[in-house]
Structure 1
Amino acid sequence: MPAPSRILVPVDFSEGSLGLIHYALQLARPFNAELELIHVWEPPQYVAPDLLVAAPGWNSLSLEQVAVEAATKELNDLVAKVKEAPSPLKHRVVVGEAASTVLRVAEEGKYDLIVMGTHGRRGLPRLLLGSVAQKIVARAHCPVLTVHLYDTAK
């Protein structure tokens, strides 16, 4: 198997996201691999993403616009915390169902490795919420490295 040259790192802004980014950077460095972070904003299934959000004195924006702007700010803030990153560290927010969007981005971008976190849910929460990581591992066109995310504050 050839060494990775393009690594995709999906982040969900959970407590372990910064640690995941540092891990992916350490993995990429010896191979001089390009690394890109993505966050997938998944529209709620029970609300139309084009629903307008308005407050007095503001321009009306769609729910999707508000959410993507907030996610972009949060992703920019997360990237700013990464000190040893190559500059600039590529990152973007993408809209869609999490697993299928990560798979599409990975294939279209010709990434040869996906490094992503898992939360270790078991039992009923996993059954009800599903596992994005599990879906990606099962369907990805390239290897997937899953890293168990944990709360670094504990």
Structure 2
Amino acid sequence: MKKILLPKYGSMKMDDLISAAENLAKKFNSTVTVFHVFNCRQMPHYGTSAVDLDDDDIVEFQKELDDTVKLLKDKGIRVDSKLFKGDPATDIINEAESGNYDIVIMSTQGIPSGQRLLPGSVTGMVMNHIDIPVLVIR
């Protein structure tokens, strides 16, 4: 397991996801790619749509990404990063397939148990459209 994809798309469980990525990376001497996607269709955390984003918003997303990268690097993990504006599920699927990753680490984002991993959720969409193992953190 040499390549780990760690999507960051608004998950409320990033600490748990980072911890899982760190543990796997240390065990298998893997590289982690932190993949931040901000949703073009709707941005509920920011109360705006992606078409309304200005340079300051993009700088903030890059800062969040850089903070995650620094956290992993400080723990001795090889890490790189990518920032995308688009549809999280589609972009994660495309990156997972084109990047030759061994595993994707995602969460259920704390949504109600009856809705977890439904076809409309980002995690559910990714799980249903890639042949790469997906570690789901609840």
TM-score, length basis structure 1? 0.71
Residue 45 of structure 2 corresponds to which residue in structure 1? none
Q: Kindly provide the amino acid, as one letter, of the partner of residue 110 in structure 1.
A: N
Moved over 6 A (4+): 123-126
**What is aligned with 2:96?**
106
Larger-gyration structure (1/2) = 1
- Residue in structure 1 matching 2:16, options 19, 41, 47: 19
1:86 is matched by which residue type in structure 2? I
User: Given residue 100 of structure 2, which amino acid in structure 1 is its aligned partner?
Assistant: K
Indicate if the aligned counterparts of 1:38 and 1:91 stay in contact, CA closer than 8 A. yes
2:75 counterpart letter in structure 1? E
Matched pairs, number? 132
> 2:69 maps to what in 1?
79
Q: Secondary structure at the match of 1:145?
A: strand
Instruction: Give RMSD over aligned pairs.
Output: 2.9
Alignment of 1:38 onto 2:35: yes
Structure 1: give runs of 5+ residues left out of the alignment. Answer: 52-62, 149-154
Gaps of 5+ in 2: 43-47
User: Contact 1:68/1:93 (CA < 8 Å) preserved in 2?
Assistant: no
- Give identity over the alignment, percent: 29
Q: How far apart in 1 are the matches of 2:24 and 2:107? A: 14
| Contact 1:41 1:68 (C-alpha < 8 Å) held by counterparts | no
Q: Secondary structure at the match of 1:81?
A: helix
Residues 57-76 of structure 1 aligned to structure 2 (within 5 Å): 63=53, 65-76=55-66
The aligned counterpart of 2:126 is 136
Q: TM-score normalized by structure 2?
A: 0.78
- Summarize the Cα distance change of 1:26–1:94 in structure 2 as closer, same or farther, 3 Å threshold: same
